[in-house]
Amino acid sequence: MFRITLPDGSVREVAPGTTPADVAAAIGPGLAKAALAARIDGQVRDLNRPFEGDTQLALVTAKDEADALELVRHDLAHVMAEAVQHLFPGTQITFGPATDDGFYYDFAPPKIDGKDRPFTEEDLPAIEAEMRRIIAKNEPFTREVWTREQLIETWTQQGETFKAEWAAELPDNEELTIYRQGQWLDMCRGPHMVSTGKLDPQAFKLTRVSGAYWRGDQKNAMLSRIYGTGWLNKKQLDQHLFMLEEAAKRDHRKIGQEMDLFHLQSEAQGSVFWHPKGFILWRQLEAYMRRRLDAADYAEVKTPQLMDAKQWEQSGHWGKYRENMFVVPDEVPNTADEGAVLSGEGDLMALKPMNCPAHVLIFKQGIKSYRDLPIRMAEFGCCHRNEPHGALHGIMRVRQFTQDDAHIFVREDQLVDEVRKFCELLDSVYQHLGFDSYAIKLALRPEKRFGSEEMWDWAEQSLRDAVAATGRDTAEYGWEELPGEGAFYAPKLEFHLTDAIGRTWQVGTIQTDTVLPERLDASYIGEDGNRHRPIMLHRAILGTFERFIGILIEHHAGRFPLWLSPVQAVVATIVSDADDYANDVAAQLRKAGIRVETDLRNEKINYKVREHSLAKVPVLLVVGKREAEEGKVAIRRLGSQAQTFATVDEVVAMLRDEATPPDLR
């Protein structure tokens, strides 16, 4: 008999051959129906796969959303592949994993007159209909263990050359399995649900097609990839489709163009050309951050863009990070330099991919005492990282970026309090920038790591204590510990913003580091008169200005709070008689500190209103003959049809508070 321990601690004795499905049925018919899979000693497995010994068992239901979604998406990938092969004979299968919001499958498309016929979006409705037919048939997913020879023979017989190639390379020490539904089968590790009927036929949608190379290598055959999104029920699918639609409307690249904020071009892959309006936004954000850092006792520094390869070698970046660094030859090396070695990599330099080593070099200037700590060193540091062109995305993922970076050098006894202070500062910044919801996560020690277990215990507990001291280690703040997700040298706190349409963005981070101070030999004199290593905290609140501005654009859909808006008001004339008055109004507003423009063009006022609302100008002040005579303006706020009248003084009084950065109100 096997002993099966359930989550409540109760134990059931079962005979060999018993499955988790049997246990679910023995507990009750409700659970038997709700169970989608089983967690066996932590691993998700098929409900019908017999127990192999004494185990811990937890039944997976739709309530275990992450597990349930993974199962559904993987099942859908198989169902889609069956549907495609049924509808398009001659199609070969390759791979089809679950993704963050669904699944895809890569097919070698069928041939027509000897030429590939890749799938198009027009094919998708028919494939969806066929998938629904397969789901309605409620075909069981069955798992079978095969030998490699069996696999190769079957795939070869079926003309599946890609699968046969892959089967020949599968590792020897692994059980080789296939999953079958009806007549269709695929090589697969599983797990799957019990049958296709467990899928909600209304909870998936095929979204797009693209090309993909076999094994991701462009020397190989071009495959045809079909993407789908898959959910537990229709409500979830609808929410997701709505979110995608909203995300497309809010795309920062589109809004950036409509508002004339920035552009990108191929001559400077991954580096942003900030236009005057975009750079006003940048400057507002930077000035705000600088005031916050000044008030929190940070000292701002500026460090070199280029440093010698030897320096990067010492910091460890040359070994680990070199492929992401822009390396620059030092073409006119200063041979007069004492001890200059012009061999090997001595005359190479690199653009900094991060600011950390340079900050340690500043720390090392002069002797530091325990009384000098904490030292909080901030830099709006411009860094370069060489990312593949395909990975770049608008201003969200770039190759040249500016971090709101800072390093805090602390003694052990100061760590918890410094991290707590950082959490408080970050909270206030996010609130000011219009984000009231964010999650805090603690990334714990990874499998491969430096340092002793005591160091990790202590560092992890310190971060936990710091968050607890702010009272934010709660469900409301999405407090969660992520085993294995820390950096190899230390644990870190991550701060994930939730935007207006429910997407999350990891932006803020703080992590402890004892390795870099050691590598670069940074020390301070302790109370005992001896040399000690400081702990270095790497931290950022925004992450990078580029990405954060991208997030701000998408979060606010370009309708920034007034204090961040590049243009806060436009004075637009109805008739040219009012030009002088419009200039006069603009001058008064400018004097009051409002960023204002005039629109005196000889265009219809409705045309002007439309154009400025597309450019997301928050306040439009319309002036005609009557307004000029009465000394008033007609006010229209972005997104509202209402129009009110007021004097310029009243307008200034109305906008002053909103136009002032929140930390100065």
Q: Which are the catalytic amino acids?
A: 356, 385, 403, 405, 407, 492, 538
Q: Cβ distance 206 to 76 under 8 Å? A: no
Residues in contact with Zn ion by the rule CB under 5 A? 188, 356, 538
Cα-based angle 501, 503, 508 (whole degrees, multiple of 5)? 125
Among the listed residues 262, 555, 565, the one whose alpha carbon sits nearest the alpha carbon of residue 401: 262
Q: Which residue has the tokens 């959303």?
A: 65
Among the listed residues 139, 135, 130, 128, the one whose alpha carbon sits nearest the alpha carbon of residue 183: 139
Smallest gap from residue 407 Cβ to Zn ion (A): 6
DSSP E strands: which ranges in 347-437? 348-351, 375-384, 400-410
Smallest gap from residue 93 Cβ to Zn ion (A): 10
Residues 6+ apart with CB under 8 A from 543: 403, 404, 506, 507, 508, 509
| Cβ nearer to Zn ion, comparing 406 with 444 | 406
User: Rounded CA gap, 231 and 129, in Å?
Assistant: 17
Cα-based angle 318, 319, 320 (whole degrees, multiple of 5)? 100
Q: Which two tokens stand for residue 395?
A: 């201003």
Smallest gap from residue 72 Cβ to Zn ion (A): 12
| Cβ nearer to Zn ion, comparing 14 with 81 | 81
Smallest gap from residue 581 Cβ to Zn ion (A): 54
Smallest gap from residue 449 Cβ to Zn ion (A): 18
Q: Which residue is nearest to Zn ion (CB)?
A: 188
| Cβ nearer to Zn ion, comparing 350 with 356 | 356
Question: What angle in degrees, to the nearest 10, is found between the helix axes of 415-432 and 453-470?
Answer: 50
Q: What is the 8-class DSSP label of residue 533? A: P
Cβ burial of 255 (10 Å; 0-12, 13-18, 19+) is: buried
User: Rounded CA gap, 388 and 538, in Å?
Assistant: 26
| Cβ nearer to Zn ion, comparing 131 with 356 | 356
Smallest gap from residue 514 Cβ to Zn ion (A): 13
User: Rounded CA gap, 413 and 429, in Å?
Assistant: 26
| Cβ nearer to Zn ion, comparing 34 with 178 | 178
| Cβ nearer to Zn ion, comparing 93 with 356 | 356
Smallest gap from residue 74 Cβ to Zn ion (A): 5
Q: Cβ distance 177 to 145 under 8 Å? A: yes
Q: Cβ distance 205 to 128 under 8 Å? A: yes
Smallest gap from residue 362 Cβ to Zn ion (A): 13
| Cβ nearer to Zn ion, comparing 205 with 359 | 359
| Cβ nearer to Zn ion, comparing 373 with 377 | 377
Smallest gap from residue 644 Cβ to Zn ion (A): 50
User: Rounded CA gap, 332 and 341, in Å?
Assistant: 13
Give the number of other CB atoms < 10 A from CB of residue 534: 26
User: Rounded CA gap, 624 and 582, in Å?
Assistant: 9
Distances (CA, A) of 240 to 136, 206, 235, 561: 24, 13, 9, 27
| Cβ nearer to Zn ion, comparing 185 with 651 | 185
Q: Which helix (H) or strand (E) holds 525?
A: strand 524-525
